[in-house]
A = this chain, B = another copy of it.
Amino acid sequence: MAGPRTISLDAMGGDRGPAVVVPGAALALQRHPDIDFLLVGDRVRIEPHLAEHPEVAERSRVVHTDITVEMQDKPSQALRRGRGSSMWLALEAVQKGEAACAVSAGNTGALMAMARLILGTMPGIERPVIAGQWPTVGHNSIVLDLGANIGATARQLADYALMGAAMARALFGIERPRVGLLNIGVEEIKGVEEVRQAHAWLKENDLPIDYRGFVEGDQIGQGIVDVVVAEGYAGNIALKTAEGTAKQMAAYVREALTSSLAAKIGALLADSGLRALRERMDPRGFNGGPFLGLNGIVIKSHGGMDAFGFASAIRVGYDMADSNLIAHLAADLEALHGKLSSNKSPEAKQA
C-alpha cells in the first residue's frame, strides 16, 4: 500500500487537461514536497508541461494512455468506452494500492460510475456521495451530499454525518466535529420524515461527532457546525444558490465601487482590504470535492479550475490520505450500523 505520498492524477480531465494538471501538481509540491505523482494520460500532451516543470517531472511517473473520457459522455458510455482511459487508470492505481488517492477534473458522472465499479463501496454503503468545502465566517465547513444522490433514507443521512465528520477530521484536525442536519425549520416538528428520523438517531446514539441538531440554509455560512448533512437534491440546490448569490453580490460590489470617480478612488484606497475579500471568496481555494463511501479516496476537481484550484484538490486528497480516513471511517460506519440494528430496525422506527 502506498503512503499518502503517491497521488494519481487524471492528466486529461478538465477543460485544459495537462496544461492545468501539471502546473497544479507543481503548486501542490510547494506545500507538500514529499508527494509522488502518477500522471495518467497522453504522454505526448503531458511531456511538454513536464519540461516546463522539472520539479514535477522529477517526482512523477507518466502512465500513458490515449483513451480519454469526454466531458459530455454519459456515465454509461464512459463505462463502456472508458476502460483504460486516463480516468480509469488513475482510479485503478488507487484500487491496486499504487496510489493513496486519485484526483480528476473530468466528467463527474463518469468519474462516480467508474469509481464505484473499480473501488466498490464501503460495507453497508450503497451509493457514495460528493462532499465539498463551504466558506464560512470562521473556517470552512464540509457540506454533503452535493448532489450525487437524489433522495436519502434516514440511515443514509446518518452515514453522511460520519463521512462528513471523517473529512472534517482529516482537513481541519477536529477530533469531534460539530455536525448539523439541513432542514427547513429549527423546531423538531418540521421537516421530512427521513430527516426527522436521522435527527433522532444522531441525537440518541453515542457517535464520534458533536451532533448539534438541525441547521437552516442561512446558518451554513455562519460556520456554527463543521459538517452540514443534506439530502443530495437539497444540498445541490443550497450549493448552487449560494454560489449564485455570492456572484451576484460580487457584481453589485463591483458596480458600487465603479459608480463614480470618488467611488473608484475609494476602491483604490481600500484595495488591500478588497483583495483579502477576493481571496476569501476565491472558489479556487476550496476546490476539491471528495467522493465518500468508496474503498478509496477520489477527489473531483471542478472542470474549469486553473492550476491554483487543481492544487487545492490535490491537497484535499493528500490530507484525507494522510489521516488514514478510509480505515477510520469504515470502523465508524460499522459501529453506527451495529447500533442502529441493535436498537430497532430502521423501518420499524421510522413508522
Contact = CB atoms under 8 A, between A and B. Distances in A.
Interface of A: 74, 135-137, 147, 150-151, 182, 184, 189, 191-192, 216-222, 230, 232-234, 236-253, 255-260, 262-263, 265-274, 276-277, 280-281
Contacts of A258: 273
B272 A262 contact: yes
B246 A259 contact: no
B184 A147 contact: yes
A265 B256 contact: no
B273 A270 contact: no
B249 A249 contact: yes
Nearest to A243: B218
B241 A238 contact: yes
Interface centre among A220, A221, A247 (most CB of B within 10 A): A221
B274 A269 contact: no
A253 B253 contact: yes
Given A217-B243, A259-B276, A267-B270, 11 more contacts: A147-B184, A218-B243, A219-B240, A220-B244, A221-B245, A234-B234, A238-B238, A238-B241, A242-B242, A260-B273, A263-B270
Contacts of A237: 182, 184, 216-217, 230, 234, 237-238, 241
A217 B192 contact: no
A45 to B, nearest CB: 28
A248 B137 contact: yes
Contact of A270 (B233, B238, B245, B270): B270
